[in-house]
Amino acid sequence: MTGARPWAVVTGASSGIGAWLARGLAARGHPVWVVARRGHALDELAAELTDRTGVDVRVSVRDLADPVARDALCEELAAEPVAVLCANAGFPVCGPVTDNDAVREAACVEVNAVALHALTLAVLPGMSARGRGRILVSGSTAGYQPVPTAATYAATKAFANTFAESLHAELRGTGVSCTLLAPGPVRTDFYRVGGVPGLTDQKLLAWQSPRYVAEAGLRAMERGRRLSVPGPVAKAQYVVGRHLPRTVLAATLRGTILPRLRGARAPRTVEPSARAP
């Protein structure tokens, strides 16, 4: 680290919300440490951030589904001053669980839940010792409801949502805060990675841009807020997911999602190149 300020770390920074989180942090003057699987995309982002803002940028190419790579990154984070952690890495596996690849289902849990937990625990001691720090967890409105055809993804986001909100309460008064970013539909490579590239063509959903979502999350994080749910559709999903009876909600989602999923599915062979959009 050549700058005087501690790092702002963004996982899943190769595209989508993560890339815009990195851009927003760099624009605010933070040295940015970007993490994802796709090294070429990170290198391009690092060059862009350096050219535009002049901040220091560190690149770590890591597959957070790999316990060895994940543990190595945790050790690196624990040894460095980290001011901000944007735990954004995640990916969906779409389709009925019985039809999905078991390896990808397990990787979804590793990245979306296990890595989030491990990386947070890696940076918290340093933040607590310094009496300052910000954590932004990318959850989802999907974590507030059962989602047929995305059961594992919804379950991992339920973990992320609950963990972030619980941690927010624990950290009150310490100088360290945890904010949950819970977006609804966002137009990114996310759905291509999940095997449903055609889902972004569905006009029923009011898609938000990753830039808008990232900026909303950063503003909420800076204010130490508990929760950011960007956009009216996401807010409606949040309210419905929390208050509608589960039997009604599950049946309704099954009836609306399944027909659209069938038309949006990609062939069985899905390129795994953007696991952490």
Residue 243: the pLDDT is: 77
Residue 2: the pLDDT is: 42
Q: Per residue of the chain (277 residues), give pLDDT as tens.
A: 344 579 999 999 999 999 999 999 999 999 999 999 999 999 999 999 999 999 999 999 999 999 999 999 999 999 999 999 999 999 999 889 999 999 999 999 999 999 999 999 999 999 999 999 999 999 999 999 988 889 999 999 999 999 999 999 999 999 999 999 999 988 766 555 544 444 444 554 567 999 999 999 999 999 999 999 998 888 988 888 787 787 776 776 666 665 555 554 555 544 443 344 3
Residue 271: the pLDDT is: 42
Active site residue 153: yes
Residue 5: the pLDDT is: 76
Q: How far is CA 126 from the centre of its chain?
A: 22
Q: How far is CA 245 from the centre of its chain?
A: 27
Residue 192: the pLDDT is: 52
Active site residue 157: yes
| Tokens describing residue 72 | 């190595």
Residue 60: the pLDDT is: 98
What is the distance between the alpha carbons of residues 186 and 200, in angstroms, rounded to a whole number?
9
Q: 7-264, which class in CATH? A: alpha beta
CB-facing half-sphere around the CA of 108: CA atoms within 13 A? 23
Residue 200: the pLDDT is: 46
Phi, psi (rounded to 5 degrees) for 175: 90, -10
Residue 188: the pLDDT is: 60
What is the distance between the alpha carbons of residues 241 and 228, in angstroms, rounded to a whole number?
15
What is the distance between the alpha carbons of residues 217 and 239, in angstroms, rounded to a whole number?
19
Q: Strand, helix or coil at 58?
A: strand
Residue 207: the pLDDT is: 79
For the chain, the structural domain boundaries read: 7-264
Residue 85: the pLDDT is: 98
Given the residues 144, 157, 191, 238, select the one marked as catalytic.
Answer: 157
Tell me the per-residue pLDDT of 221-261, one tens digit each, with 9 for 90 and over.
999 999 999 988 889 888 887 877 877 767 766 666 655 55
Given the residues 153, 203, 235, 238, select the one marked as catalytic.
Answer: 153
